[in-house]
Amino acid sequence: MRNAKTFKSVILTTGLALSACGGSGSGGSPSSGATTGGVPATGGTPSIGGSTQAAVGGSNTGGVAAVGGSIATGGKAASGGSVATGGTKATGGAPGAGGDSAVAGSVGTGGSTNAGGLKPTGGTTSQGGGSGVGGSNPTGGSNGTGGKTSAGGTATAGSGNPTGGTTGTVGGTSGVTVQLDQAHQTIDGFGLNTALGGGSVPWDAFYTTTGNPGLGLSIVRVGMTSSGGLSGSKPAASYGAKVIGSAWTAPANCKDNNNTSKGGHLLTSCYDSWSTTIANFAKNQGLYAMSAANEPDFASCGSTLGPPCNGDYDTMLYTATEMVNFIKVLGPKMKAAGVKLIAPEASEWLHLWSNASATGSTVASHPNSSDPLGCGCFSNTPTTTGCASKCSTGGGYDYGHFLAADATAWAAIDIIGTHEYDTEKAEAWPSDINGGKRNKTIYETEVSGVMYWPEQGPSSDINNGIAVAGWVHSALVTGEASAWLYWWYQSSGSNDNEGMVLQGSTALTKRCYTIGNYSKFVRPGYVMVDVTGNANTNLLLSAFTGTDGTVVVVAVNKGTSAANVPIAIAGGTAPASCTPYVTSASANLAAGTAVTVTGGSFSASLAATSVTSFVCK
């Protein structure tokens, strides 16, 4: 979690189980006060500070130094970043090049086909689709469609002036093709977090696909307290959801700052006992996967730095070298427990592959992230410029590179975990790891609109819904994530967009529905495939296939004008028709009339400022 949480809600959410404060420390044998990776074992006497209590409002109360299980609920401190809702991969796949894009009728208008390597831009005003090679004026027919149904042949010239530009017909999107034979990652699902609060989740509405809204979420992330207890609630087994977990901090006596909050590093003397606590928790809770650490690149700093930091809560830092060393201790225990290991789960996707920290907070006097490891370089894309030398040798972030460089640590990790805070966009798998080919599953396990950062809210409108859809698109298309999770069901503490619904409300926001444009229709087991030929920067296009032959195309139209986009389906068996489900200012996953697929192509009609899921069968 990042940036907000001066909590009114506490971490003792439904299902919280705290370990006993006396007896053996969690993960170690009873040794009369020895540092064991749990609370100090005191031979069965109550832990220091009295009985276990939840940390309320982010400040530790009731003896948190050895409370035996409270994750402080302070929220997220800022770590910088500007919004980049579109992602870095040009909207839905590699741009179509030249004549390749003149597939299934995406040809130039009033002349011969777009041959000879022309980019299928067609003009941003889509005046009949750009002039075809060998044709003069883009007449393209009275409605400006430019012969979009002809399959690579000469477009039939109509009469009259091109009028397509008024609705964005073709304009910059001619030649869009869903490439069924160009597969990427398998989708495991979408979800939210119940750790540390976030309201009581209406499981039926959010974790089924039936009824209204039937959002179809399928993953839940819970937290582990410093004593090895559960923070968060889990759905009934009947929902079939994957449950994953994360550890926020070791007990204070296992950290070099002797505090569960404000960062601090895990003492090497606690590596064995703390890793045992994590593995035992994961096994006992029946988790699908467990993270070694929540946000190892962030130290809560509300009382030390102030805005954009907001509150102090349980955090623990790892340098890249420390993460590698700890994973090598934890990994074998997770294998023995039969639970997949997630790491490093940095707060910024940027910190997976770089020592640069994000910039772009709404606090003019402090635009940069807090950079607790002191690398001193700020950018919203990976860079080495200005970074401290210690960080290039493992004393900073860049967790992915250092983990990949250690064969033992890399083999121990099943899932690369990350959050999407601050820059609010994904980073592509780097070219210097495995030849630029992703060879680990990736989960984006937390993101939301937090205080002092773009999309902080509170808001529930379609503009925010479009922004959040852009986060999902970036994670899936640029980051090749197999899972994407929002933070909470309901905002709590700070009045912002940390919840899918607003504080004190159960009314669904537009972001609930635009997330549903993915989660309701892109089901676990679907595979993302390439979408090529889209040169319209206002459109984000992604596509997925199911084992039953279903094809799902999700189109995010960020523009204020409607668009009609001819889409070809190649590389496999084209479906017969596509049914649109639209979320806009006036619609919530509203089903439209099925569109016939003719000659392997269909015309996608996209309302202004909307997200449309085309379910094709």
Give the tens place of pLDDT for each residue, 242-301. 999 999 999 999 999 999 999 999 999 999 999 999 999 999 999 999 999 999 999 999
413: domain CATH number is: 3.20.20.80
**Is there a single domain that holds both residue 351 and residue 400?**
yes
Distance separating alpha carbons of residues 574 and 391, to the nearest angstrom: 50
Q: What is the mean pLDDT of the chain?
A: 80
Give the residue numbers spanning the domain of 108. 98-184+527-616
Whether the pLDDT of residue 466 is over 90: the answer is yes
Residue 387 to residue 354: CA distance in whole angstroms: 10
Pair 222, 104 in one domain: no
Beta carbons within 10 angstroms of residue 328's beta carbon = 16
Query: Is the C-alpha dihedral spanning 514, 516, 522, 524 positive or negative?
Result: positive
Separation between Cα atoms, residue 186 and residue 92, nearest integer Å: 16
Q: Is the pLDDT of residue 126 over 90?
A: no
Give a yes or no: residue 612 inside a domain. yes
Asked whether residue 486 falls in the same domain as residue 386, the answer is: yes
Q: Is residue 452 scored above 60 in pLDDT? A: yes
Residue 43 resides in a domain: no
Residue 417 dihedral angles phi and psi, to the nearest 5°: -105, 145
Residues 554 and 153: their CA atoms lie apart, in Å, by 28
Q: Residue 272 falls within a domain, yes or no?
A: yes
Q: Enumerate the H helices of 38-181 as residue ranges.
A: none
**What distance in Å separates the CA atoms of residue 141 and residue 156, rounded to the nearest whole number?**
8
Are residue 264 and residue 382 in the same domain, yes or no?
Answer: yes
Residue 37 within any structural domain of the chain? no
Domain boundary among 457, 484, 519: 519
CB 498 within 8 A of CB 450: yes
| CA 278 vs CA 281, 327, 460, 581: distances in Å | 5, 12, 37, 42
* Same-domain status, 177 and 311: no
The pLDDT of residue 349 is above 80: yes
Helices 320-337/271-284 angle, 10° precision = 40
Same domain, 221 and 171: no
In a domain, residue 499? The reply is: yes
The burial class, CB within 10 Å (0-12 / 13-18 / 19+), for 65 is middle
pLDDT in tens, 541-588: 999 999 999 999 999 999 999 999 999 999 999 999 999 999 999 999
Taking each helix axis from N to C terminus, what angle separates 510-519 and 462-473, rounded to the nearest 10 degrees? 30
Question: Is the bond preceding 458 in cis, omega lying within 30 degrees of 0?
Answer: yes
For residue 14, being part of any structural domain is answered with no
Can you give the C-alpha Rg of the chain in angstroms?
25
Could you tell me the pLDDT band of residue 2, with boundaries at 50, 70 and 90?
Answer: low
Mean pLDDT is lowest, of 188-192, 221-225, 300-304, 508-512, for: 300-304
- Is there a single domain that holds both residue 107 and residue 227? no
| pLDDT tens readout for residues 374-410 | 999 999 999 999 999 999 999 999 999 999 999 999 9
> Is residue 496 included in any domain, yes or no?
yes
Element (H, E) at 552: strand 551-557
The CB-based long-range contact list for 389-397 (8 Å cut-off, 24+ gap) reads: 391/355, 392/355, 393/321, 394/319, 394/320, 394/321, 394/324, 395/319, 395/320, 395/321, 396/319, 396/320, 396/355, 397/297, 397/320, 397/346, 397/348, 397/351, 397/354, 397/355, 397/357, 397/373
At a CB cut-off of 8 Å and minimum separation 6, what does 474 contact?
84, 85, 86, 87, 88, 89, 420, 424, 425, 426
Please compute the mean of the pLDDT values over residues 167-181 and round it to a whole number: 67
List pLDDT tens digits, range 286-335: 999 999 999 999 999 999 988 998 889 999 999 999 999 999 999 999 99
pLDDT of residue 1: 60
Q: What is the reported pLDDT for 311? A: 86
Per-residue pLDDT at 241 exceeds 80: yes
Task: Examine the fold and report which residue of 519, 535, 554 is the final residue of a domain before the chain moves on.
Answer: 519
The residue from 503, 519, 535 where one domain ends is: 519
Same-domain pairing of 311 and 389: yes
Rounded Cα distance between 91 and 104, Å, is 20
Please indicate, yes or no, whether residues 163 and 207 belong to a single structural domain of this protein: no
Same structural domain for residues 423 and 511? yes
* Cα three-residue angle 308-313-319, rounded to 5 degrees: 80
In a domain, 52, yes or no: no
How many distinct structural domains can be found in the chain? 2
Q: How far apart are the C-alpha atoms of 259 and 357, rounded to whole Å?
A: 25
CA angle 186, 187, 189 (to 5 degrees): 160
pLDDT in tens, 422-436: 999 999 999 999 999
Q: Report the alpha-carbon distance of residue 93 to residue 286 in Å, rounded.
A: 37
Could you tell me if 226 and 169 lie in one domain? Answer: no
Least confident range from 99-108, 313-322, 324-333, 488-497: namely 99-108
Query: Contact at 8 Å (CB) between 249 and 39?
Result: no
**pTM score:** 0.76
Q: Are 44 and 51 in contact (CB under 8 A)?
A: no
DSSP per-residue string spanning 307-351: TT-----B--B--HHHHHHHHHHHHHHHHHHT-EEEEEEESSTHH
If you count them, how many residues does the chain have?
Answer: 617
Q: Specify whether 430 is located in the same domain as 350.
A: yes
39, with CB counted inside 10 A (0-12, 13-18, 19+), is buried
pLDDT tens digit sequence for 27-61: 333 333 333 343 333 333 333 333 333 332 333 33
How far is it, in rounded angstroms, from Cα 170 to Cα 75? Answer: 45
Q: Which two tokens stand for residue 391?
A: 């960080």
Q: Supply the CATH number for residue 157's domain.
A: 2.60.40.1180
Check residue 213 and report its DSSP letter: S
- Residues 576, 578, 581, CA angle at the centre, nearest 5°? 160
pLDDT confidence of residue 175: 84
Binned at pLDDT 50, 70 and 90, residue 174 comes out as low
Give the Cβ contact number of residue 220 at 10 Å: 28
